[in-house]
Structure 1
Amino acid sequence: MAEFYLYRKVTGLIDVQRVLPTGLWSKPKVHAKRKPARKLERTGEEVSIPSSSVDDNAQDMKMNSSDSSSKNRLINISSRSSVVQACIITSGLIAALGVIIRQVSHVASIEGLPVIDCTSEVSFSFEMRQLQLITGLVVLISSSRFLLLKLWPDFAESSEAANRQVLTSLQPIDYALVAFLPGISEELLFRGALIPLLGFNWASVMLTAAIFGILHLGGGRKYSFAIWASFVGLAYGYATIESSSVVVPMASHALNNLVGGILWRYQSMNLENGEDQK
């Protein structure tokens, strides 16, 4: 049997392997440098491998490597400990600011300064009839979020990015923590302190809702999410004006956070199970 060559293109290099008549393989020769086209002559047939194909293959590998690394950079999932720690610290600072504003306004009002007493305008009182208002807010906001996720792709993308970054590493028991702490602290500041401080009217409700929406930008969330947060702020502001109690928006906000987190977890598990079955 006459000798012949097998050409193989792997990762931008050309391996040339010689097959001996005895069936043993000789040591392969690896050409790392760019070579001109080589010709294989066998019974009058001619086969050529252009050197440009080596460059194309190397470029394809670089592009694939670049795409893979860019995808890894886009997915920035925080660890469980960092999420819980950030939630506790941030919620504590927000709640402390709300308490300070309420107490300072109370003291200033007693001293006769032209400042509205936040503690008298918005209290921590609760009545059973307010359960209807809380239930209505939870149904309204949760159903509205569900519809927007289906109808508004930009909002769905923003919501998914934020949820994936924060909720992916959490255990089911952690969902109550990240739902209730932000809900209570944010409402204490925005609806329990800023709304009464700015006048306890619809102008203050809209202003605090706009601030609330702007502060929800970042972390993968786009302007669509800020618009949604502003709408939610208006709903919680209405509940505050209607009830004169910060407990109503606190409970509504916390429950909506919990419902949203549980639904996201359920949908994510279904998607993962579907991919595993494929």
Structure 2
Amino acid sequence: MNMCIIDVEIVDETRHVATSVFRLPVELLLYYQGKNYHCKISTDAFEFYSFLANLQASHFASTEGLPVADCSVEISWDFQMWHLELITGLVIIVSSCRYLLLKTWPDFAESSEAANRQVLTSLEPLDYIVVSFLPGVGEEFLFRGALLPLFGANWPSALAVDAVFGILHLGSGRKYSFAIWATFVGLAYGYATISTSSIIVPMAAHALNNLIRGILWRYTSSSSK
């Protein structure tokens, strides 16, 4: 009886936090519709709501006795102090690897430039914070918060989910080199999710890496003019 009460409280808390966060895309969509960024906001909103639907569906299926993992239990909102060390390590590793690849892999540098121009060109400096936060949260909700626990929070599932994550980063000037890079980064965030059972860690690392990428691109673009 006590276990049932605890389980319901966990699901209700997760749903409350997720629903509160999901109000953001609608407001941001209205703000950014004049900045040619509304398509990206819509994508992030889709990722948010896909996570919420998966959360509710997996919990219902699990409580009905179906062989489906309850995503609200597999992945939590827990945060501990040692998670800061992991976030810092992920930011250093991912940002350093990205910088080295930009200097040594022309095809990747070209793909990255195309992606940055498409998203960042028309934004003001303060907008970079929003641009960094939304994909970091939205993509982690969908891939590490929904798909990874749904198929099993383990390495085989992480490889499959992050391969899809990489493939979906193709297009709009982004080549296979960019997809390979996205798969590698997805595996890093998958490792963080599996080792901590917390969605907060990959979200924070993803958003910070996006912010560093945007700031460096803006600085180097301004210096080259």
Gaps of 5+ in 1: 1-78, 273-278
Is 1:92–2:41 an aligned residue pair? no
* More strand by percentage: 1
- The C-alpha deviation readout for 1:110-135, integer Å capped at 9, x for no partner, is 11111100111111111111000000
- State the percentage of identical aligned residues: 62
Q: Determine if contact 2:55/2:146 at 8 Å carries over to the other structure.
A: yes
In structure 2, what is the Cα distance between the partners aligned to 1:262 and 1:104? 39
Query: AA paired with 1:149?
Result: L
SS of corresponding position for 2:153: coil
> If the length of structure 1 is used for normalisation, what is the TM-score?
0.68
Q: Which has the higher contact order (CA 8 A, sep 6+)?
A: 2
Q: CA contact under 8 A between 2:35 and 2:123: conserved in structure 1?
A: no
| Contact 1:87–1:181, Cα closer than 8 Å, also in 2 | no
Q: Which moved more, 1:86-95 or 1:114-123?
A: 86-95
Native 8 Å contact 2:151 2:157 kept in 1: yes
Corresponding residue of 2:14: none
Bigger-Rg structure (1/2): 1
Say whether 1:109 aligns with 2:62.
yes
Correspondence 1:214 to 2:175: no
Partner residue, 2:7: none
Q: From the two aligned structures, give the one with the greater helix fraction.
A: 2
Partner of 2:218: 265
1:219-261 superposed Cα distances (whole Å, 9 cap, x missing partner): 1100000000000000000000000001100000001000000
Question: 4+ runs of 1 displaced by more than 2 Å?
Answer: 79-84
1:60-96: per-residue Cα shift (whole Å, max 9, x none)? xxxxxxxxxxxxxxxxxxx983533223211111111
SS at structure 2 position matched to 1:129 = helix
Unaligned runs of 5+ in 2: 1-31
2:101 aligned with 1:151: no
1:187 aligned partner = 140
Paired with 1:194 and 1:239, the residues of 2 have a C-alpha distance of 15
Alignment correspondent of 1:255: 208
Change beyond 3 A, Cα 1:183–1:83: farther
- Taking structure 2 as the reference length, the TM-score comes to 0.84
Aligned-partner Cα distance in 1 for 2:33–2:170: 22
Question: Residue 84 of structure 1 contacts residue 178 of structure 1 at CA under 8 Å; is this kept in 2?
Answer: no
Contact 1:87 1:178 in 2 (8 A): no
Instruction: Return closer, same or farther for 1:80/1:97 CA change in 2, 3 Å cut-off.
Output: closer
CA contact (8 A) 2:37 2:119 kept: no
Q: Which residue is equivalent to 1:56?
A: none
